[in-house]
Chain A
């Protein structure tokens, strides 16, 4: 591939607690890492509010992006050695896409996207194709190179194998975040033998498949994904923090729309609230900016915004009960009425959180599905879907995987200095639901 970048005189390495070393030989990759848009990822945590549950989870999108790049580099190295199906022209497209796949993520992006209906993938595309340092570096490889990288990340690139390496049921992105999130949260169940998986990976026209001799390593990966899903990503305390975070953003937006006079004008949010956010505005938003406002808003006059910000900053989170909305609907009108009566706005203080509100999933084999399942390659060349060969995967596939939790400020309900009777009734209703 023609371009102004070549190979570095001396290989650069990053020490990394998950992969030990991250190796950079290409000038292109080195230049991309140095761009301001990529450096911004140092200020965006990988797991959002999870640090409030697992205090070690302070790792950032920067670490993860380097990790995905490193896994992709090793995948390519393995395939280049022995696979005629691999097209060496795609190497730098793959490496760049792996490195930049999360470049559009903002601070606490999951809650942000829910509240403001933005999409980090659109920002990713804009950063790669717009007037940015990243675009200028990528364009050094040729005018159409940025578009190729953006298409891989958007999954619309014509070479489906390349797309599958970064985005499929078993890809560089998932492998890095499972290992990394397990390492930083300190949990023991996120481990699997990635080296073995890479060794048994074989490219086909549409996706990478795995030699059946490596099935147990793939099983381990699936189990790890399953465990991390329920134990870390869906942790009810983290979800409580996300609920409060979302409600802070909702409240600030609502106040802005009503013309409320903030003591400290939220200038970083103005274009977002007005629905006119530019790329430059977006790039200025990082977690330090968000937390600055949350700190300031603890002293706002609006009691809801003030209370929610204090809760977030002091980790005074909402409590929860398991919830079945099909049963809860019977008591919902009474609960709403009681919350309103005691001065707690139900929209902010009585919140159902569902599993579909979260951005993670675990493996399910194909039914009438749109996503390719994991395929094992048998010695005779036949392909078999993983759960048809593995009893372990079969056992955890297709099981019930939805849940709902009802979050509320139990501390305020237990303070019986005012509205004691109503609060007692609320607690009775809630506890009766829990059984």
Chain B
């Protein structure tokens, strides 16, 4: 029952609280690119790869009280905090769903800033291009974010480190 929802609940169980929809969006996208079985459909948007399907699925889980959603007013915008509820945990247990062994990559991603994960997911979105072409994409499509050369290099290193964590 609701297997795609269960995958997200299983992720929340591993990460603990995730602060910000953007961070959640990027964690799932990066997990997909690392071949975890998430199937939400992504498209490129203002802050990089974004899935309306994921957004709606999380909203459903919040309505079902499987996920606790806290909405904070940050002045010009709202920020959301998500965590697994007791009911969500019961549902997950009942479903018997388990994510493939993640070796800490989800917790690791959750410790990064959403700005950095935005860059990492953008680099992954254009992974078929050369590094120089990716940089050009980042600097033109994300001009307002003012990413530096060093940050892009760090994004590449971070992707390698995640892949290494999974093969160890």
Contacts and interface: CB of A to CB of B under 8 A. Distances in A.
Nearest to B22: A368
A404 B60 contact: yes
Interface in B14-69: 20-22, 25, 39, 41, 43-47, 50, 52-53, 56-57, 59-60, 63-66
Contacts of B126: 156
B2 interface: yes
B120 to A, nearest CB: 16
Contacts of B91: 325-326, 329
B41 A119 contact: yes
Contact of B52 (A119, A326, A361, A367): A361
A329 B90 contact: yes
Interface in A371-403: 371-372, 400-402
A324 B61 CA distance: 11
Given A329-B94, A352-B1, A354-B2, A368 B78 contact: yes
6 contacts: A155-B43, A328-B1, A332-B1, A361-B52, A368-B80, A370-B22
Interface of A: 113-114, 117, 119, 121, 154-156, 158, 324-326, 328-329, 332-333, 352, 354-356, 359, 361, 366-372, 400-402, 404
A279 to B, nearest CB: 16
Determine the interface band of chain B, counting residues with CB < 8 A from chain A: 35 or more
Contacts of A402: 56, 59-60, 63
Contacts of B66: 326
B44 A156 contact: yes
A367 B77 CA distance: 6
A389 B87 CA distance: 39
B102 interface: no
Given A325-B91, A370-B50, A355 B80 contact: no
A332 B94 CA distance: 9
Contacts of A333: 94
A158 B141 contact: yes
Contacts of A366: 77
B137 interface: yes
Contacts of B52: 361, 371
B140 interface: yes
A354 B60 contact: yes
